A = this chain, B = another copy of it.
């Protein structure tokens, strides 16, 4: 899915919500545990219920890898289900990969060729040649970590160099030499508040993938105040607050209600 298609989806559906599929087997409704593949059954129900209210889905790889072979199978089936039934939703593998060129190339093959997702989160610490192998696939996206939503984001990402440039700003600035706003997005945590203003100074046009509203406490209004562009420029993720809003047989219905609430807020903010 390219940038124009993404913008079109956002405008038509009046939403820039991404539903995070952080599907923890310990948190899904009990009655699903009798199913053959509880994680997949859960995901399918959540997807069918929330699809009208979001433009993207983001499975977090950790939650599948921790199930070993079965987890990997559930992920595979979930992505196939999305590709077949919801081809206009962006599929983001939240994997935070990044390694020497030779190895990043293997990860790129894994996620973009074998698995067929549209976008992958990538960690910047190892620099250019750890990121560029992911940029060789047309219409696929790299979503580079810039300023994350967690407390530890302050440990290194805010470190200032001698000129006063902070590490996250250097990542934003330097990585623009590797790809433009048609191929790269950045992760910026919703908990970073006013720092969005500084982010937009360096990347005025790029899409930002914003985790951290909901369970992590970030505010959608504040994110939009500083982060929205004329093309929207934001994909805001919510995971736990939507998918685990209810743990009864009504879980999908309640997830849809929660997603719809966010969508309606977003429609207001897009005006």
Q: Measuring CB to CB, which residues of chain A are less than 8 angstroms from any residue of chain B?
A: 22, 24, 60, 62-63, 65-69, 72-73, 76, 94, 96-104, 106-107, 109-110, 114-115, 123-131, 145, 148-157, 159-162, 167, 170-171, 174, 211, 216
Enumerate chain B residues within 8 angstroms of A170, measured Cβ to Cβ.
Answer: 156, 159
Enumerate chain B residues within 8 angstroms of A155, measured Cβ to Cβ.
Answer: 124, 127-128, 174
A126-B152 CB under 8 A given contacts A66-B114, A68-B115, A159-B170: yes
Asked whether, in the complex, the Cβ of B96 is within 8 Å of the Cβ of A65, the reply is no
Asked whether, in the complex, the Cβ of A126 is within 8 Å of the Cβ of B150, the reply is yes
- Alpha-carbon gap, A73 to B149, bound state (A): 34
Asked whether, in the complex, the Cβ of B101 is within 8 Å of the Cβ of A150, the reply is yes
Asked whether, in the complex, the Cβ of B156 is within 8 Å of the Cβ of A171, the reply is yes
- Alpha-carbon gap, A62 to B104, bound state (A): 8
Closest A-B pairs by Cβ, 9 of them:
A127-B152, A127-B155, A66-B110, A62-B106, A129-B152, A100-B150, A128-B152, A65-B110, A125-B125
A-B contact pairs, 15 of them (CB 8 A): A60-B106, A67-B114, A68-B76, A94-B99, A100-B216, A125-B156, A126-B148, A127-B153, A127-B154, A127-B155, A129-B152, A131-B152, A156-B167, A156-B174, A160-B162
Each complex incorporates copies of this chain amounting to 2
Enumerate chain B residues within 8 angstroms of A167, measured Cβ to Cβ.
Answer: 156, 159, 167
A115 to chain B: closest CB distance in Å? 7
Asked whether, in the complex, the Cβ of B151 is within 8 Å of the Cβ of A129, the reply is yes
Asked whether, in the complex, the Cβ of B159 is within 8 Å of the Cβ of A127, the reply is no
A123-B109 CB under 8 A given contacts A151-B129, A155-B174: no
Enumerate chain B residues within 8 angstroms of A115, measured Cβ to Cβ.
Answer: 68
- Alpha-carbon gap, A151 to B178, bound state (A): 14
Enumerate chain B residues within 8 angstroms of A162, measured Cβ to Cβ.
Answer: 160-162
Q: Which residue of B lies closest to A104 (CB)?
A: B62
Asked whether, in the complex, the Cβ of B60 is within 8 Å of the Cβ of A103, the reply is yes
- Alpha-carbon gap, A101 to B167, bound state (A): 21
A69-B62 CB under 8 A given contacts A96-B97, A129-B152, A150-B101: no
